[in-house]
């Protein structure tokens, strides 16, 4: 899932200063699962903004809507009948959703209420951690299921570096060293000979370095 | 026991403090409550095992939210007592009322 964090309240309040009719938009997908921008978080943030603005003597009207998805046109279009009743949209969806809604309603500003942060997993209830950076050329078969692009601070391909100590990364002692984990896996699976193969330089053109990416399936186009 | 406690305390019954959601408490503040406190069973005595522990965590989170929006986190509290502690219930009601009285009215209260 895409994991996001809510922006600091002061930043949100500052963005909303000129407005008194706000559409607060949530998303039922990733940001619901990581408890950042689902209908529940929309309700809490709406209350918080109302309380703040009431206290400041500048009350606001907030519409609370959570779309099934903010990254698909059919759902985004469902905002049409009422989006213009509001001066501005404050979105708790990920960066994709925020942009996509803005593209559909060019006369409305869509402000971000969250910082979209990473692709990750629910490690335990209430804890999410990063697993993938979408580099566009997966090498998990070579590193036995542990991504060094994401989980190694230096994204190195022939690790570990000299900073790995007792299984921890030198960047932060709370972060497991990705390469330590990878070597553990090689050992577990009796594949140490494979570990000794030198990995060539990665072609990063499939990643962000090649510019924004696109996927097309001609057979699905209408 | 016929114990008395301040009349300004309004009781909302829930099956367990674990049922209390952050949005419920925020709504109370939006509707003009000056303070909200949760009274749950003693820790370890929850009929639903951990309802009161969850409530305690939610109260902590609520404090943070109320501080952020300027209403003030000290306006929410969590107390634990057994159903046999009527005396304590009345005492807590007085204690909370006193505390809120010192803090003054909810700054986000709407003009009537
Ligand atoms: S200690 Fe491990 S995870 Fe950290 S930078 Fe070095 S190889 Fe990467």
Query: pLDDT tens digits for B34-92?
Result: 999 999 999 999 999 999 999 999 999 999 999 999 999 999 999 999 999 999 999 99
- The neighbour count for residue B100, using CB atoms within 10 Å, is 23
Alpha carbons A147 and A167: distance in angstroms, whole number: 16
**What pLDDT sits at residue B1?**
73
Q: Looking at chain B, how many residues does it have?
A: 112
Are A116 and A97 in contact, with CB atoms under 8 Å apart? no
- CA nearest to A50 within chain B: B30
Ligand 1 pocket member A167 (CB < 6 A): no
* A213 φ/ψ angles, rounded to the nearest 5 degrees: -100, 165
Residues of chain A with CATH 3.40.50.2300: 2-118
Instruction: Indicate the DSSP class of residue A40.
Output: H
Shortest Cα distance, chain B CAs vs residue A109, angstroms: 24
Q: What value, to the nearest 5°, has the Cα angle with vertex A37 and ends A211 and B63? A: 130
Alpha carbons B97 and B71: distance in angstroms, whole number: 17
Report the Cα–Cα distance between both ends of chain A, in Å, rounded.
Answer: 28
Ligand 1 pocket member A181 (CB < 6 A): no
Q: Which residues pair with A119 in a beta bridge?
A: A2, A132
- The neighbour count for residue A105, using CB atoms within 10 Å, is 16
**What pLDDT sits at residue A221?**
96
Best mutation site among A147, A158, A161 for ligand 1 pocket (most ligand atoms within 8 Å of CB) = A161
- The neighbour count for residue A139, using CB atoms within 10 Å, is 13
Instruction: Show residues of chain A in contact with B26, CB under 8 Å.
Output: 43-44, 47-48, 51
Shortest Cα distance, chain B CAs vs residue A53, angstroms: 8
Whether chain B has a CB inside 8 Å of the CB on A195: the answer is no
Alpha carbons A113 and A102: distance in angstroms, whole number: 14
Residue B111 scores a pLDDT above 80: no
- Fold classified for A2-118: Rossmann fold (3.40.50)
**What pLDDT sits at residue B112?**
64
In the block, residue with structure tokens 């209390």: B20
In the block, residue with structure tokens 């993938």: A132
Ligand 1 pocket member A11 (CB < 6 A): no
Whether chain B has a CB inside 8 Å of the CB on A54: the answer is yes
**What pLDDT sits at residue B110?**
86
ipTM: 0.94
Among A26, A104, A24, which residue's Cα sits nearest to residue A60? A24
């Amino acid at each position: 899932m895409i994991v996001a964090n809510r922006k600091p309240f002061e930043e949100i309040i500052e963005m909303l200063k000129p407005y008194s009719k706000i559409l607060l938009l949530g998303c039922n997908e990733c940001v619901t699962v990581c408890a950042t921008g689902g209908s529940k978080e929309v309700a809490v943030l709406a209350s918080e903004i109302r309380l703040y603005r009431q206290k400041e003597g500048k009350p606001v009207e907030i519409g609370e809507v959570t779309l099934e998805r903010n990254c698909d046109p059919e759902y985004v279009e469902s905002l049409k009948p009422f989006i213009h009743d509001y001066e501005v949209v404050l979105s708790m969806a990920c960066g994709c959703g925020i942009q996509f809604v803005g593209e559909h309603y060019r006369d409305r500003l869509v402000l971000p209420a969250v910082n979209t942060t990473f692709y990750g997993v629910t490690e335990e209830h209430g804890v999410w951690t990063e697993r993938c950076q979408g580099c566009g050329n997966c090498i998990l078969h070579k590193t036995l299921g542990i991504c060094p692009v994401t989980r190694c601070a230096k994204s190195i391909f022939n690790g570990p570096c000299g900073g790995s100590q007792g299984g921890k990364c030198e960047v932060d002692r709370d972060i497991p060293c990705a390469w330590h984990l990878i070597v553990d896996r090689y050992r577990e699976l009796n594949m140490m000979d494979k570990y000794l193969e030198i990995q060539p330089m990665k072609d990063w053109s499939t990643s962000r370095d090649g510019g924004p990416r696109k996927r097309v399936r001609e057979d699905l186009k209408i | 026991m016929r114990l008395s406690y301040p009349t300004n305390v309004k009781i909302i019954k829930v099956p367990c403090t674990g049922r209390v959601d952050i949005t419920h408490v925020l709504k109370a503040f939006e509707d003009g409550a000056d303070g909200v406190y949760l009274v749950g069973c003693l820790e370890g005595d929850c009929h639903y095992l951990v309802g009161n522990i969850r409530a305690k965590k939610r109260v902590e989170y609520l404090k943070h939210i109320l501080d952020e929006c300027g209403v003030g986190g000290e306006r929410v509290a969590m107390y634990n007592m057994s159903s046999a502690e009527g005396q304590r219930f009345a005492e807590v009601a007085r204690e909370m009322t006193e505390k809120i009285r010192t803090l003054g009215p909810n700054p986000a209260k709407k003009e009537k």
